[in-house]
């Protein structure tokens, strides 16, 4: 049994679905169901005998302690976070609450649990913390990609709060001997991505005939990884990562935002041509850049490749095509998420059950 936090979010729900499809091992999912948490993503596994959903907060130490005592997981994987940079600029408080204080409370509960385990179980136990490349700050255009030794220079309240949680995780290993693993991953894309983030926002706005807002000159560079590849990296680190180590996870796919938007438009032109002719790219609208916008992130993934033999299965070309197709094939999911109706929809499913 493993305990996952934030498993109703974008990456978490992809991970939960993969895990239950392939591993034969049970999973408890603790999620607060913020605006970003959507149980509809997990509808296909709600009745899986190995799946337990718990509605709750990682900052509720008593609840986490109860769950650990009841389910005796061999690992805890922390996906739960406030994750949207723009939201962190407008209201940073929630980011500090969940990403810093919540992570601290979670670590405290896990430390007590781990100390209570018999030696052999304690030896095998792992706490895996899912983090971001944004903790490293912005790179100059010609600078080498981020290695695990790159200094932390977070620039947004989001990345600063994630950096704080990474440091707490490290400290719990160093001070208390908690067997931790940390992954710092580049930008993910794929199914179930909330349409406030660049790729799903562009797809749903393009289909709705709305403007495609591109910050500044659109030349901010990000490294993109298909979410299924992030999930496989996390599984690999959990299986074979060395305790106390950090693994950078990335797809060697550095691309400027404007190129991403143009690629999506070209795919939509092919897969869902505009009724009146023309290209979706005509909807691109440049908007004022966000404050403190980092210019470039790039991940050097050689450590996880060399030590753990992990490689991404998708190229950017195959992954983005799969993603665009998924949004085209799931208009009801998009509509319910955009209207907030997924909350009522999912409540109704459980009333009926």
Contact residues for ligand NAD, defined by CB under 6 A: 5-6, 8-12, 30-34, 36-37, 57-59, 79-83, 98, 102, 130-132, 162, 185, 187-188, 194
Give the shortest CB-326-to-ligand NAD separation in angstroms.
15
Judged by beta carbon, residue 60 or residue 259, the one nearer ligand NAD is: 60
Please say which residue, 177 or 195, places its beta carbon nearer to ligand NAD: 195
CB-based closest residue to ligand NAD = 9
E runs forming strands in the chain: 2-5, 27-31, 51-55, 75-78, 126-132, 180-185, 187-189, 212-215, 221-226, 246-249, 254-256, 284-287
Under DSSP, is residue 154 helix (H, G, I), strand (E, B) or coil? coil
Choice between 9 and 179, CB closer to ligand NAD = 9
Q: Which of 113, 136, 158, 226 is catalytic?
A: 158
CA pair distance 241, 53, nearest whole angstrom? 27
3-class SS of residue 161: helix
Query: How far apart (Å, rounded) are the C-alpha atoms in residues 35 and 82?
Result: 10
Q: How far apart are CA 95 and CA 51, in angstroms?
A: 28
Map tokens 């050689």 to a residue.
302
Where do we find the tokens 């919540």?
A: 102
Q: In whole angstroms, how far apart are CA 79 and each of 15, 39, 176? A: 10, 15, 22
Residue 309 C-beta: closest distance to ligand NAD, Å = 21
134 labelled catalytic: yes
Alpha-carbon distance of 17 to 7, in angstroms, equals 9
Give yes or no: 133 in active site.
yes
Under 8 Å between Cβ of 90 and 39: no
Residue among 134, 254, 294, 300 flagged as catalytic: 134
Cβ at position 344, least distance to ligand NAD in Å: 17
Residue 78 vs 283, nearer CB to ligand NAD: 78
In terms of CB distance, is 51 or 279 closer to ligand NAD? 51
Alpha helix positions (H), 55-118: 61-71, 85-90, 93-95, 103-116
Answer yes or no: are the C-beta atoms of 39 and 52 closer than 8 Å: no
Q: Which of 36, 110, 34, 37 is nearest to 74 (CA)?
A: 110
Q: Which C-beta is closer to ligand NAD: that of 70 or that of 273?
A: 70
Query: Least separation, in Å, of the C-beta of 132 and ligand NAD?
Result: 4
285 beta partners: 213
- In the bound complex, what is the minimum distance in angstroms from residue 131's beta carbon to ligand NAD? 6
Minimum separation from the CB atom of position 276 to ligand NAD (A):
34
Minimum distance from residue 6 beta carbon to ligand NAD (Å): 3
- Closest to ligand NAD by CB, 10 vs 280, is 10
Catalytic residue among 31, 133, 229, 254: 133
Per the CB < 8 A criterion, the answer to whether 346 and 39 are in contact is yes
Residue labelled with tokens 């993503």: 41
Catalytically active residues are 133-134, 158
């Amino acid at each position: 049994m493993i305990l996952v936090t934030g498993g109703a979010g974008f990456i978490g729900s992809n991970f939960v679905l993969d895990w239950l499809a392939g591993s034969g091992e049970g999973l408890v999912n603790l999620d607060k169901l913020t605006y970003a948490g959507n149980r509809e993503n997990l509808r296909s596994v709600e009745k899986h005998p190995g799946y337990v959903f718990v509605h709750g907060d990682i900052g509720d130490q008593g609840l986490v302690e109860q769950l650990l005592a009841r389910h005796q997981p061999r690992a805890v994987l922390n996906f739960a976070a406030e994750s949207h940079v723009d939201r962190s600029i407008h209201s940073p408080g929630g980011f500090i609450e969940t990403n810093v204080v919540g992570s601290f409370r979670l670590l405290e509960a896990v430390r007590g649990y781990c100390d209570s385990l018999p030696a052999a179980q304690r030896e095998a136990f792992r706490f895996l913390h899912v983090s971001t490349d944004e903790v490293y700050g912005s790179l100059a255009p010609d600078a080498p990609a981020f290695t695990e030794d790159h200094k932390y220079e977070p620039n947004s309240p989001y990345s600063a709060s994630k950096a704080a949680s990474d440091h707490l995780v490290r400290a719990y290993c160093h001070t208390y001997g908690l067997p931790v693993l940390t992954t710092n991953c580049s930008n993910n894309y794929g199914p179930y991505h909330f349409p406030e983030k660049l790729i799903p926002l562009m797809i749903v706005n393009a289909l709705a005939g709305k403007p495609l807002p591109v910050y500044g000159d659109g030349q901010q560079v990000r490294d993109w990884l298909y979410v299924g590849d992030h999930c496989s990296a996390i599984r690999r680190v959990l299986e074979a990562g060395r305790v106390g180590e950090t693994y950078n996870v990335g797809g060697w796919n550095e691309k400027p935002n404007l190129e991403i938007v143009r690629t999506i438009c070209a795919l939509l032109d092919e897969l869902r041509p505009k009724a009146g002719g023309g290209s979706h790219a005509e909807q691109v609208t440049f908007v004022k850049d966000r404050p403190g916008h980092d210019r470039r992130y790039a991940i050097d993934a050689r450590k996880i490749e060399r030590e753990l033999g992990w490689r991404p299965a998708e190229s950017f070309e195959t992954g983005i095509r799969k993603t665009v197709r998924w949004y085209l094939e799931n208009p009801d999911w998009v509509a319910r998420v955009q209207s907030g109706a997924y909350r009522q929809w999912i409540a109704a499913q459980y009333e009926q059950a």
